[in-house]
């Protein structure tokens, strides 16, 4: 586990280093206002990334999160525009969008054993289409930009004591809770076992189907939760909201040390990863670099991180076989006389 | 399990005929030359991109970068012709070479460093989009010259739009490469059983590298055709088209686990997707429903083609299965 | 080491167990029993039915008839592995089924972790404590909180044993447990087996290694051709006797007392002192034109590794290879170009392209001829496919048939065919007849002989002893990565090969 600790240490040092450089280049960076905003941005991506981490630990992938965010936001807007339901009634109902989408993904994956990538990509198409269909439209049929004025709903995206955003509080609570679940409960152990060695897990008596279903449902829930916070913070929502956000989410998770092969990773890493990503995006902004660089940086980070992780694994495997071979070679091989 | 004796292509053609019959009954406008030409036209881009994207797919990988790549290559072609003043023919050839090189780079990371293909190409999709934004300065650029370049997409030959001929040439070439050459045989073998292929003298890494390079070249051609057809280039010009290409491939019977695939099938798949969307339009079903239909169609095609895959069962670990079933 | 258990106190009793996989009978009316607290060895040649018997007992497969009683309870005809585990039958597999990334304690208690109260929250302290207590009880060199990835293969095996013990296993089945262990690790395992026996736990031990069977077991059951041959008590166990029983002296065996005769033809392949660390050491031999050189030895003795290295799949650390008199550095491409073929073991994983036609499968190794300029001549390809099909009598003789849908024997014929349609000088053949029916087997033997008659040199790796004795002109027996013995110009029997493979030198040396 030492390589894991080293990796995390390097990541944290990089985080501090980049923050220090940014402060030197633009003092505005180290103001409370900017840092709180940075954390708020990190939290918006981070909430989705928490659910996504569980999917990746189980060796799956959820490409539908963007669609879930869009549809959730549209459902929410519809409730606000057309009903007088109080927030505490419609927000929980809205969260069911993600849960249902997760069930849909999980059903096709576990029941028919279809490839997870394509199933969730198809779900994304369906959900983003639905988001467009139910979007609030004007008399000409064009999508209308609804300005959210529901005070109770805006509560979610606003800040509280000390300027800390509620999104950030929610992210930390969700993160800590999920980390505890992963590391300290049977459910969490089952996710690791399913991702690392599904057939062994099955043989030991773990229901891998239920585990897979569970992680997709949770991922959907997290995406829906994020949609509430994002739309509340923006005070509006378009049916395109969240489309394309999967790259930010994947970047956060991968930077945090969770691998696509499954069975590895944790929420602490993802939390650091989302702050890291927000820091870099914030830095690009604060240094006045063209925002067009952003996708290049995000794409680049994902590829580089994954390459480094693959190399590191290869290296440690090679060292392991070498020491094993040495052991075999040095063992007294009895030569027949 | 019953053995399939009818080839996928034939079944697809049958379904397509049924679909056409249904549509012509439902809408009198369907069976007009104008409408049919329109459908084929909208198929062109998907067909061009599929003719190359099928190679990574058969080797068991995927190329998700082709949308960003096509948009970027349109911008690059414009850069060569209208900013640097290069003649349009070398400009296009250079663009194709650049597309091929980027594909080669993707292939290198997939084949040599062994990073899952969908991660590599999804990340490539993102950073190529960024590069396109930077090169185009985030703007939508109009291309009004040179005339021969514009004619590639907008001109007609024997009454049919030029892109149809380009697509047909590429599809035929791709089908020839896949079915009639040693390279095609090796691609199929790598997808079916990499170890067996290796023991028979195939170099799987080289085959993978070449597959992604081919997809890069066809993406560049797609980008050029799109630019010339729409007479404009911008970074998001072809965003999301990878989903339509993958749909066409899945419908066409290209297996998500590799080792199986037909470019003719993919073309029929592309036509089918286009017909469905065209039908929705003719029946006055609003555009937002289109991605919903695409999504449902992919799921249905997967269930039909790959439903029997569930026999993979316990033998393969889930993680192993996932790696293979991108 | 004395057994003090009353006769008849059986933990596991199998009576008349019969199993057939769609046709051939693999287990024929087998009576078998394991007593409480004994170490019982199960031996037999490859294909004798050992692994099938284990599969039946652990619930991995059902049986056709016969009764199984475990711990006084009748087992139904079909039961799941989970059922078997719940009753106390545990199997330590060769391929370990532990979860990487978890600790020893987490693996031991996977899916049965102690929780806090009635919640699903794991009581980690208690879990680690219980695990350590279990480890200490058996004095295993393990730490409860160590990560699985950081411990050796032998230690992982111990974790598997602990996992079974924590399930209250009464019968522990160990399938070739020492195949990847060092000598000291093997000794440690033996000690642990003795401890288990002292605890009253029965151990069913499957091994090819006679010295282990001899050192460990209280009783030995010998299987041959799916039938029970003999049950030996402690005082009757001797390696030579077990081998004699395993081979048997059936009438057909008389017919396979083959006289080896060396070929005097020119040398095709000359191998000098090749070594790959950890796989094989100082292997030297020469292979003559048209000769069939058998490579025998136990699984894991380095046979497959030698042919893989010579074909160019894996690197050779030191030593030299000469092919047709000139120095040769093996690589797959160069081998194919030079007229060398390779028929791998495990045809499903390494041999066939299941989703493709017979034509494509044969074509893939012949692209140099079929497509010299890159374009495949469909006519020539079909000709080759048809040639291959008729040469090897593949059924159905339809070139467009998918290979994945052929029977095992026909799949193997296709794998052979893709090389046999070439102009070969040398071919490496690794376990050519595993899991195929007797008819197809004979046909494949016929082709191997014909090849040799045509002047093709053959290096044949096999665990099937009659296969070696009947086909080979000369046999090298490998043991622990070295050539242990060479059989030439003598009468060869399977028994002799097995003795040499088991390291019984005195008698084997007599032949030389």
pLDDT digit string, tens, across residues A234-288: 888 888 888 878 899 999 999 999 988 889 999 999 999 999 999 999 888 888 8
What is the spatial distance between Cα A52 and Cα A250, in angstroms, rounded to a whole number?
8
Q: By three-state DSSP, how is residue C474 classified?
A: strand
What is the spatial distance between Cα B304 and Cα B253, in angstroms, rounded to a whole number?
10
User: Are residues C95 and C119 located together in one domain of the fold?
Assistant: yes
Full residue range of the structural domain in which residue A196 is found: 2-316
Residues 296-315 of B with CB under 8 A from A: 296, 298-299, 302-303, 306-307, 309-310, 312, 314-315
**Domain for residue A336, yes or no?**
no
Among the partner-chain residues A187, A196, A336, the one whose CB lies closest to the CB of C99 is: A196
User: Are residues C321 and C428 located together in one domain of the fold?
Assistant: yes
Interface test with C, best of B178, B179, B182 (most C CBs within 10 A): B182
**Domain for residue A321, yes or no?**
no
**Which residues in A85-112 are b (16+ Cβ under 10 Å) and which e?**
eebeebbeebbebbbbbbebbbebbbee
Highest mean pLDDT among A121-130, A169-178, C119-128, C417-426: A169-178
Q: Is residue B5 scored above 60 in pLDDT?
A: no
User: Are residues C379 and C235 located together in one domain of the fold?
Assistant: no
**Domain for residue C187, yes or no?**
no
User: Are residues C411 and C435 located together in one domain of the fold?
Assistant: no
CA distances from B81 to A64, B94, B146, B308 (A): 39, 11, 8, 51
Across the interface, whether the CB atoms of B197 and C353 are under 8 A apart is answered: yes
* β partners of residue C73: C70
Across the interface, whether the CB atoms of C106 and A331 are under 8 A apart is answered: no
pLDDT band at B123 (very low <50, low <70, confident <90, very high): very high
Domain edge (last residue) among C169, C186, C213: C169
pLDDT band at B16 (very low <50, low <70, confident <90, very high): confident
What is the spatial distance between Cα B218 and Cα B254, in angstroms, rounded to a whole number?
18
Among the partner-chain residues A121, A208, A303, the one whose CB lies closest to the CB of B109 is: A303
Ranges A102-111, B315-324, C487-496: which has the least confidence: B315-324
Mean per-residue pLDDT for A137-153? 82
Tokens of C263: 């070929």
Tell me the Cα Rg of chain C: 25
**Domain for residue A257, yes or no?**
yes
Continuous segment of H or E residues that includes residue C42: strand C39-43
**Domain for residue C165, yes or no?**
yes
Across the interface, whether the CB atoms of B192 and C336 are under 8 A apart is answered: no
Could you tell me what percent of chain A has a pLDDT over 70? 94
What is the spatial distance between Cα B249 and Cα B64, in angstroms, rounded to a whole number?
13
What confidence score (pLDDT) does residue B9 get?
77
Highest mean pLDDT among A198-202, A205-209, B97-101, B176-180: B97-101
User: Are residues C462 and C405 located together in one domain of the fold?
Assistant: no
User: Are residues C329 and C448 located together in one domain of the fold?
Assistant: yes
**Domain for residue C462, yes or no?**
yes
**Domain for residue C447, yes or no?**
yes
Chain A contacts of B315, Cβ < 8 Å?
Answer: 199
Chain C contacts of B183, Cβ < 8 Å?
Answer: 374
Give the closest-approach CA distance of B202 to chain C in angstroms. Answer: 8
**Domain for residue C177, yes or no?**
no
Does the beta carbon of C101 lie under 8 angstroms from any beta carbon of chain B? no
CB C432 within 8 A of CB C222: no
Chain A contacts of B299, Cβ < 8 Å?
Answer: 108, 114, 119, 122
> Could you read off the pLDDT tens digit of each residue along chain C, which spans 512 residues?
344 444 458 899 999 999 887 667 888 899 999 999 999 999 887 778 888 898 899 888 888 999 999 998 899 988 888 888 888 898 887 666 788 889 999 999 998 899 988 888 999 999 999 999 999 988 888 999 999 888 888 888 889 889 888 888 899 998 888 877 777 888 888 888 988 898 899 999 988 777 788 888 899 999 888 888 888 887 887 777 888 888 775 444 444 456 666 677 888 999 999 999 888 989 999 899 989 999 988 877 888 999 999 999 998 999 999 998 889 989 998 999 899 999 998 887 888 888 889 999 999 988 888 888 889 888 999 999 999 999 888 888 889 888 888 888 888 889 989 898 888 899 999 988 887 777 788 888 888 999 899 899 999 999 888 888 888 888 999 988 888 888 887 877 777 888 888 777 644 444 43
Could you report how far apart the first and last alpha carbons of chain B are, in Å?
Answer: 25
User: Are residues C428 and C320 located together in one domain of the fold?
Assistant: yes
**Domain for residue A333, yes or no?**
no
Q: Which residue from C minimizes the CA distance to B187?
A: C364
What confidence score (pLDDT) does residue A187 get?
93
Domain edge (last residue) among C399, C422, C445: C422
Tokens of B40: 């084929």
Chain C contacts of B186, Cβ < 8 Å?
Answer: 364, 367
pLDDT band at B138 (very low <50, low <70, confident <90, very high): confident
B143-189: per-residue pLDDT in tens?
888 888 888 888 888 878 889 999 999 999 999 999 899 999 999 99
**Domain for residue A325, yes or no?**
no
Among the partner-chain residues B123, B134, B317, the one whose CB lies closest to the CB of A299 is: B123
Does the beta carbon of C312 lie under 8 angstroms from any beta carbon of chain B? no
Higher pLDDT, B312 or C378: C378
Residue recorded with tokens 């012509």? B24
Does the beta carbon of B123 lie under 8 angstroms from any beta carbon of chain A? yes
Higher pLDDT, C85 or B47: B47
Q: Is residue A74 scored above 70 in pLDDT?
A: yes
User: Are residues C230 and C308 located together in one domain of the fold?
Assistant: no
What is the spatial distance between Cα C292 and Cα C448, in angstroms, rounded to a whole number?
9
Across the interface, whether the CB atoms of A204 and C184 are under 8 A apart is answered: no
Tally of domains in chain C = 4
User: Are residues C102 and C45 located together in one domain of the fold?
Assistant: no
Indicate the DSSP class of residue A239.
Answer: T
What values do phi and psi take at C33, rounded to 5? -145, 150
Q: Is residue A78 scored above 70 in pLDDT?
A: yes
What is the CATH number for A296? 1.10.3470
Chain A contacts of B114, Cβ < 8 Å?
Answer: 310
What confidence score (pLDDT) does residue B258 get?
67
| Chain CA centroid to CA B161, Å | 20
Across the interface, whether the CB atoms of A333 and C482 are under 8 A apart is answered: yes
Mean per-residue pLDDT for B60-66? 92
Tally of domains in chain A = 1
Mean per-residue pLDDT for A12-41? 90
What is the CATH number for C449? 3.40.50.300
Among the partner-chain residues C342, C355, C360, the one whose CB lies closest to the CB of B199 is: C342
Q: Nearest to residue A303, comparing CAs of B277, C116, C506, B64?
A: B64
Burial group, residue A68, by CB count within 10 angstroms (0-12, 13-18, 19+): buried
Full residue range of the structural domain in which residue C51 is found: 1-87+203-248
User: Are residues C431 and C491 located together in one domain of the fold?
Assistant: yes
* β partners of residue C227: C224
Domains, chain B, in order of start with CATH, read 8-305+318-324 (1.10.3470)
CB B242 within 8 A of CB B125: yes
Among the partner-chain residues B180, B196, B200, the one whose CB lies closest to the CB of C378 is: B180
User: Are residues C50 and C71 located together in one domain of the fold?
Assistant: yes
pLDDT band at B251 (very low <50, low <70, confident <90, very high): confident
Across the interface, whether the CB atoms of C102 and A192 are under 8 A apart is answered: yes
User: Are residues C216 and C332 located together in one domain of the fold?
Assistant: no
């Amino acid at each position: 586990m030492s390589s894991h600790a080293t990796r995390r240490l390097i990541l944290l040092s990089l985080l501090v280093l980049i923050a220090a450089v940014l402060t030197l280049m633009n003092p505005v960076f180290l103001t409370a206002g900017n840092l709180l905003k940075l954390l708020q941005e990190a939290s918006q991506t981070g909430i989705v990334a928490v659910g996504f981490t569980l999917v990746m630990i189980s060796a799956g992938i959820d490409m539908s999160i963007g669609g879930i965010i869009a549809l959730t936001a549209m459902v929410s807007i519809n409730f606000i525009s057309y009903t007088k339901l109080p927030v505490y009634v419609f927000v929980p109902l809205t969260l069911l969008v993600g849960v249902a989408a997760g069930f849909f993904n999980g059903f096709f994956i576990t029941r028919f054993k279809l490839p997870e990538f394509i199933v969730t990509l198809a779900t994304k198409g369906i959900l983003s289409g639905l988001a467009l269909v139910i979007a609030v439209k004007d008399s000409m049929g064009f999508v209308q930009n609804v300005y959210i004025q529901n005070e109770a709903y805006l509560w979610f995206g606003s800040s509280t004591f000390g300027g800390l955003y509620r999104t950030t509080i929610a992210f930390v609570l969700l993160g800590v809770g999920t980390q505890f679940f992963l590391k300290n409960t049977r459910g969490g152990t089952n996710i690791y076992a399913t991702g690392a060695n599904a057939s062994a897990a099955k043989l030991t008596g773990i229901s891998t189907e239920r585990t897979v279903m569970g992680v997709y449902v949770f991922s959907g829930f997290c995406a829906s939760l994020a949609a509430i916070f994002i739309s509340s913070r923006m005070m509006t929502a378009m049916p395109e909201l969240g489309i394309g956000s999967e790259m930010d989410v994947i970047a956060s998770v991968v930077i945090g040390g969770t691998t696509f092969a499954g069975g590895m990773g944790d929420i602490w890493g993802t939390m650091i990863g989302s702050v890291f990503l927000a820091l870099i995006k914030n830095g690009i902004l604060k240094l006045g670099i063209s925002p067009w660089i952003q996708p290049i940086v995000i794409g680049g980070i994902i590829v580089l991180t994954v390459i480094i992780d693959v190399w590191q694994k290869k290296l440690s495997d090679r060292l392991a076989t070498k020491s094993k071979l040495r052991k075999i070679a040095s063992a007294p091989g009895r030569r027949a006389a | 399990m019953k053995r399939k004796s009818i080839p996928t292509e034939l079944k697809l053609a049958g379904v397509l005929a049924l679909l056409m019959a249904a549509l012509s009954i439902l809408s009198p406008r369907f069976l007009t030359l104008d409408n049919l030409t329109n459908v084929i036209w909208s198929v062109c881009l998907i067909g061009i991109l599929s003719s190359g994207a099928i190679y990574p797919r058969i080797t068991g990988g995927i190329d998700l970068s082709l949308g960003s790549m096509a948009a970027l290559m349109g911008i690059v072609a414009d850069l060569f012709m209208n900013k640097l003043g290069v003649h349009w023919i070398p400009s296009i050839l250079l663009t194709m070479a650049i597309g091929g090189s980027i594909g080669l780079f993707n292939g290198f990371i997939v084949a040599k460093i062994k990073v899952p293909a969908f991660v590599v190409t999804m990340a490539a999709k993102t950073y190529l989009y960024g590069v396109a934004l930077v090169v185009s300065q985030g703007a939508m650029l109009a291309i009004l010259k040179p005339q021969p370049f514009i004619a590639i997409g907008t001109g007609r030959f024997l009454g049919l739009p030029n892109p149809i001929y380009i697509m047909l040439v590429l599809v035929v070439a791709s089908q020839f490469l896949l079915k009639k050459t040693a390279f095609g045989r090796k691609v199929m073998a790598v997808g079916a059983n990499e170890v067996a292929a290796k023991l028979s003298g195939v170099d799987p890494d080289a085959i993978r590298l070449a597959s992604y390079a081919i997809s890069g070249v066809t993406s560049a051609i797609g980008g050029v055709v799109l630019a010339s057809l729409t007479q404009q280039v911008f970074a998001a010009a072809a965003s999301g088209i990878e989903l339509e290409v993958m749909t066409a491939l899945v419908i066409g019977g290209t297996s998500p686990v590799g080792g199986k695939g037909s470019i003719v099938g993919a073309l029929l798949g592309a036509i089918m997707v286009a017909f469905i969307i065209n039908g929705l339009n003719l029946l006055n079903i609003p555009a937002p429903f289109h991605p919903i239909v695409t999504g449902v169609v992919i799921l249905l095609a997967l269930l039909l083609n790959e439903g029997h895959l569930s026999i993979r069962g316990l033998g393969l670990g889930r993680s192993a299965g996932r790696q293979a079933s991108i | 080491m004395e057994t003090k258990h009353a006769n008849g106190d059986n933990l596991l009793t199998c009576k008349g167990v019969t199993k057939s996989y769609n046709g051939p009978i693999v287990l024929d009316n087998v009576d078998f029993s394991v007593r409480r607290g004994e170490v019982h060895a199960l031996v037999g040649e490859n294909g004798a039915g050992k692994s099938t018997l284990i599969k039946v007992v652990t619930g991995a497969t059902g049986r056709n008839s016969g009764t199984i009683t475990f711990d006084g309870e009748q087992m139904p005809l079909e039961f799941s592995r989970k059922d078997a585990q719940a009753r106390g039958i545990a199997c330590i597999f060769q391929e370990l089924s532990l979860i990487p990334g978890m600790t020893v304690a987490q693996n031991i208690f996977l899916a049965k972790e102690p929780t806090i109260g009635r919640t699903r929250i794991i009581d980690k302290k208690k879990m680690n404590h219980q695990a350590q207590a279990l480890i200490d009880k058996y004095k295993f060199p393990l730490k409860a909180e160590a990560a699985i990835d950081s411990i050796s293969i032998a230690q992982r095996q111990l974790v598997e044993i602990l996992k079974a013990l924590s399930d209250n296993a009464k019968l522990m089945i160990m399938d070739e447990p020492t195949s990847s262990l060092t000598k000291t690790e093997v000794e440690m395992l033996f000690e642990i087996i003795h401890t288990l026996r002292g605890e009253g736990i029965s151990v069913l031990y499957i091994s090819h290694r006679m010295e282990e069977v001899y050192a460990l077991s209280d009783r030995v059951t010998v299987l041959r051709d799916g039938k029970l041959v003999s049950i030996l008590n402690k005082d009757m166990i001797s390696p030579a006797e077990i081998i004699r029983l395993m081979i048997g002296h059936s009438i057909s065996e008389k017919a396979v007392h083959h006289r080896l005769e060396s070929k005097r033809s020119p040398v095709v392949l000359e191998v000098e002192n090749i070594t790959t660390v950890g796989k094989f050491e100082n292997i030297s031999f020469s292979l003559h034109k048209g000769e069939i050189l058998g490579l025998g030895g136990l699984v894991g003795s380095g046979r497959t590794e030698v042919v893989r290295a010579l074909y160019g799949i894996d690197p050779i650390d030191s030593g030299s290879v000469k092919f047709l008199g000139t120095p040769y550095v093996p690589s797959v491409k160069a081998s194919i170009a030079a007229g060398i073929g390779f028929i791998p073991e495990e045809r499903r994983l390494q041999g066939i392209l299941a989703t493709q036609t017979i034509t494509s499968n044969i074509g893939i190794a012949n692209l140099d001829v079929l497509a010299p300029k890159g374009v495949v001549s469909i006519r020539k390809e079909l000709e080759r496919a048809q040639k291959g099909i008729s040469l090897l009598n593949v059924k159905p003789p339809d070139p467009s048939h998918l290979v994945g849908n052929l029977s095992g024997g026909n799949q193997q014929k296709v794998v052979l065919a893709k090389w046999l349609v070439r102009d070969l000088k040398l071919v490496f053949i690794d376990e050519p007849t595993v899991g195929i029916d007797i008819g197809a087997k004979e046909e494949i033997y016929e082709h191997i002989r014909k090849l040799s008659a045509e002047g093709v040199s053959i290096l044949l790796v096999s665990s099937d002893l009659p296969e070696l004795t009947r086909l080979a002109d000369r046999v090298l027996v490998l043991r622990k990565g070295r050539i242990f013995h060479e059989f030439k110009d003598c009468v060869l029997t399977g028994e002799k090969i097995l003795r040499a493979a088991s390291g019984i030198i005195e008698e084997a040396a007599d032949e030389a």
